[in-house]
């Protein structure tokens, strides 16, 4: 295992310390390193709290700041944050407007955010993200997995909260954006969880895993490596077939690297996807390309398509000021 | 070779098309895909033109935009752009204030920018970047190599140009920042140039290359993999020994991933470096952590230290609006 670390046990703490120091203008590290929160809170606003296993950076810590999250709870690598973490984060950012939890659909995450909702001293609501079309049930819980589309929900709802939407509205917007968002990924290589020390799964030199999860969970099928044109088609077809009425409309196209994919390959993948969408009469009105929801050093990427209406577009365009996303 | 591409021959063109489409609010792709330039030029300003081999994305294309470059010329992977590319980019952005070339110190890049300077129809000056302390001469030219520090020069000079500095001033600032900037890198794995199809160099499972170049050129020594604490010390010591009078002062610390390094490891490396610098009485006044000057999918990172004076700090803080850097 080749990692730039001191030890698997110290990785998360040292990485969080570095993150908080490098972005001390935007964030503060909570006591006991249980959460990252905004340095400056906006009184009266609905607070957004998310979190999940680490190893997907910059998700979620990198999305704490103006226009997105108020706090994020980093679990150990690929491990849910504890209820204790979520409760402390919630209490640190909660105001009278309440707190919206944005939770990826994994059994551990859902359970621990539910416990926190019961024990937190404020009003809460929860938006579940399950954008991954690859599998209907995963090794990590019932129903579809929450993957790269999470950042779109965090961005759009974050903007709505800044503009004064109340807790019910924020939850409704989150649910609406999730319902309009679909993702599917492909892995060319596995990742290695530091505490385990060997690859999560094995792929032959000429194989790829279509529909892979962001923890290296199995996808739909393992097939021979193919050209980007063919891979993109394999990802886009189930996405488009699953979207509610993707008739001529504007959409947001996110090509997300899993951590070990060169930037040039992500833009190439984006180019192929964009052309194919436009050939089907769809308009790519907004774009995002980069490694935002990663799986440590896994090579591969996911494609996310999110249908845009004028309100969602306007919220997407709202200014954002976080470590990983700024405009 | 596992790559998300259609073919090595089409990689660069398809990637550039994707980049230009994804960032069409900021950039335009020049005819024949010879260069990327800003969509909106500022009349009267000194224009900054950089470029070099591709494979280091987001450098340089990702730094075209307000506050940094006016144009960038992408060569084939790890191959200098042609004089023709540089001339066309120069003519596309040149005004009466002239054009500053920012060129990494490799023989091919220097030669082709020199030819372009002779043939371009405008006043030009050139800043050579040679921030890599690892080796005094490389397989790619005489003198030190230009690596991740390049982005600091592009950012600082870019801000000066926006504020109305003339061509001589811009060149002088570039030279001054280069003289105050030192970098050294470490590779944990090689990268694979698509047209070649096999790793540029071989590293055993327990080895790393200290002082590696951004094309996978040899560094100072190949040693056993170590803990991050020890690796950071191996990088920081030659950097600090080489800096002119790094006595108590403010500095900019850049931890740059080579493409295959998880974000968490970069922040951990940053944390270790920052603590060590502070222990020596140096103050990390500005920070940047991410994969900005990459070597395709190479795992590893470089550390850059740049001494700050009030003017440089102010220019660093000036707003920037590019695909890869924004504030």
The pLDDT-based confidence of B246 (bands split at 50, 70, 90) is: low
Host H or E run for residue B313: helix B310-317
Closest CA to A92 of A134, A62, A47, A133: A47
Active site residue B23: no
> How much is the average pLDDT of A113-124?
96
Predicted local confidence at residue A224, as pLDDT: 97
- Specify the CATH number of the domain A181-312: 3.30.1180.20
A22-64 pLDDT, tens digit each:
999 999 999 999 999 999 999 999 999 999 999 999 999 999 9
Chain A positions in Cβ-Cβ contact with residue B55 (cut-off 8 Å): 262, 264
Host H or E run for residue A169: helix A167-179
**Mean pLDDT of the residues in chain A:** 96
The answer to whether the beta carbons of residues B303 and B190 sit under 8 Å apart is: no
Predicted local confidence at residue A230, as pLDDT: 98
Q: Could you state, in order of their start, the residue ranges of all structural domains in chain B?
A: 12-179, 181-312
Mean pLDDT lowest for which of A71-85, A170-184, B76-90, B137-151? B137-151
Number of other CB atoms surrounding residue B1 within 10 Å? 15
Q: If you count DSSP H runs as helices and E runs as strands, how many of each does chain A have, helices first?
A: 8, 14
Which one is the CATH code of B12-179: 1.20.120.530, 3.40.50.10440, 3.40.50.1820, 3.40.50.9100? 3.40.50.10440
Q: At what angle do helices B167-179 and B150-162 cross, to 10 degrees?
A: 150
Of the candidates B21, B54, B287, which has its C-beta nearest A264's C-beta? B54
Predicted local confidence at residue B247, as pLDDT: 63
The pLDDT-based confidence of B265 (bands split at 50, 70, 90) is: very high
Cβ-Cβ pairs closer than 8 A, A with B, add up to 184
Cα separation, A302 vs A266, whole angstroms: 9
A5/B291 CB distance under 8 A: no
Of the candidates A7, A227, A294, which has its C-beta nearest B263's C-beta? A294
The pLDDT-based confidence of A141 (bands split at 50, 70, 90) is: confident
Cα separation, A44 vs A42, whole angstroms: 6
| φ/ψ of residue B63, rounded to 5 | -110, 15
A163-217 pLDDT, tens digit each:
999 999 999 999 999 999 999 999 999 999 999 999 999 999 999 999 999 999 9
Of the candidates B17, B231, B296, which has its C-beta nearest A4's C-beta? B231
Predicted local confidence at residue B245, as pLDDT: 75
The answer, yes or no, to whether residue B234 has pLDDT greater than 90, is yes
Chain B positions in Cβ-Cβ contact with residue A188 (cut-off 8 Å): 2-4
* Mutation for testing the B interface, residue in A4, A5, A22, A187 having most B CBs under 10 Å: A4
Predicted local confidence at residue A191, as pLDDT: 96
B46-101 pLDDT, tens digit each:
999 999 999 999 999 999 999 999 999 999 999 999 999 999 999 999 999 999 99
* Mutation for testing the A interface, residue in B261, B268, B319 having most A CBs under 10 Å: B268
Active site residue B215: yes
A269/B6 CB distance under 8 A: no
Cα separation, A74 vs A78, whole angstroms: 10
A217-250 pLDDT, tens digit each:
999 999 999 999 999 999 999 999 999 876 668 9
pTM of the model: 0.97
């Amino acid at each position: 295992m080749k990692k730039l670390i001191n030890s698997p046990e110290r990785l998360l703490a040292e990485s969080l310390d570095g993150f908080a120091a490098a972005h001390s203008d935007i964030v503060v590290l909570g006591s006991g390193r249980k959460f990252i929160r905004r340095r400056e809170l906006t009184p009266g606003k609905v607070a957004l709290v998310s979190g999940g296993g680490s190893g997907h950076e910059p998700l979620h810590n990198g999305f704490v700041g103006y226009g997105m999250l108020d706090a994020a709870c980093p679990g150990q690598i690929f491990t849910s944050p504890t209820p204790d973490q979520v409760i402390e984060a919630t209490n640190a950012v909660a105001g009278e407007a309440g707190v919206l939890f944005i939770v990826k659909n994994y059994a551990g995450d859902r359970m621990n955010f539910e416990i926190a909702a019961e024990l937190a001293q404020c009003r809460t609501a929860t938006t579940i993200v399950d954008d991954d079309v690859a599998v209907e049930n995963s090794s990590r819980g019932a129903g579809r997995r929450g993957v790269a589309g999470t950042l779109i929900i965090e961005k759009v709802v974050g903007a709505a909260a800044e503009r004064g939407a109340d807790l019910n509205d924020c939850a409704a917007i989150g649910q609406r954006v999730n319902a309009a968002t679909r993702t599917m990924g492909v892995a060319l290589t596995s990742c290695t969880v530091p505490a385990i020390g060997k690859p999560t799964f094995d792929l032959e030199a000429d194989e790829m895993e279509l529909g892979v999860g962001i923890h290296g969970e199995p996808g739909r099928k393992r097939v021979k490596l193919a050209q980007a044109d063919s891979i993109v088609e394999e990802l886009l077809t189930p996405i488009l077939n699953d979207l509610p009425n993707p008739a001529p409309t504007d959409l947001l196209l996110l090509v997300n690297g899993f951590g070990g994919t060169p930037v040039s390959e992500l833009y190439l993948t984006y180019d192929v996807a964009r052309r194919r969408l436009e050939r089907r009469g769809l308009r790519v009105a907004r774009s995002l390309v980069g490694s935002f929801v990663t799986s440590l050093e896994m090579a591969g990427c996911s494609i996310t398509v999110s249908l845009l209406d004028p309100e969602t577009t306007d919220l997407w365009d709202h200014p954002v000021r976080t470590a990983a996303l700024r405009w």
